[in-house]
Homo-oligomer: A and B are copies of this chain.
Amino acid sequence: MRVLVPFDARDPKTRLAPALDADERRALAVAMLRDVLDALAATDADPEVLATDDVDCPAPVTVDDRSLTRAVNAALAEAAAPVAVVMADLALATPAALSRLFDADAEVVLAPGLGGGTNALVARHPDFRVDYHGCSYRDHREAAAAVGATVETVDSFRLAVDVDGRGDLAEVLVHTDGRAARRLRGAGFELVTDGRVTVSRRE
């Protein structure tokens, strides 16, 4: 399966600004991208990174500085075969979770993210297009229905957690031991318990 991995190479993860400076955010974003590519490498995926600028990673990189939605839709419009789109900040993604996504049969397969997003999808219908603005999980269900595509949802915690805010860092430390987790630990983050587990950072 051809898999696009969109990546913001310029100013990634701005919502982590209270926790990490710009260089740290970029390094964490690249670490997560590489974790996602590692997980994809253990599936039958053929990944391509769709980045706003060049990035050093072990997959072909296409630079497209348009918005996420426009860049993905341009790729979908040109595609002659099924295409998956997997976000680059799914630090918890595993080969098993990704395989459930790829192996689902519907013409549009959606993996919802926390907060109404669409963290991963498979498009097998020629007329399906994305719109990542707003509550995209609902919008994508409606967009699939509007073109007559069958729709299926993959119920995965590991695909639902995209690392956007400080609270998400705890999920990385609890559930993974990849590059992103090691980078966070190296930067002084550790788990603290306060109802839900969160992170603290050593001074």
Contacts and interface: CB of A to CB of B under 8 A. Distances in A.
Interface of A: 15, 94, 96-97, 112, 114-117, 133-135, 137-138, 155-161, 164, 167, 170-171, 174-175, 191, 193, 195-198
In the complex, the count of this chain's copies comes to: 2
Given A137-B174, A138-B174, A191-B135, A116 B155 contact: no
Most buried by B among A134, A138, A155: A155
B195 A164 contact: yes
Given A164-B195, A193-B134, A116 B170 contact: yes
Choose among A138, A161, A193, A197 the residue with the greatest number of B CB atoms under 10 Å from its CB.
A197
Contacts of A195: 15, 115, 164
A105 to B, nearest CB: 15
Given A156-B156, A197-B134, A174 B116 contact: yes
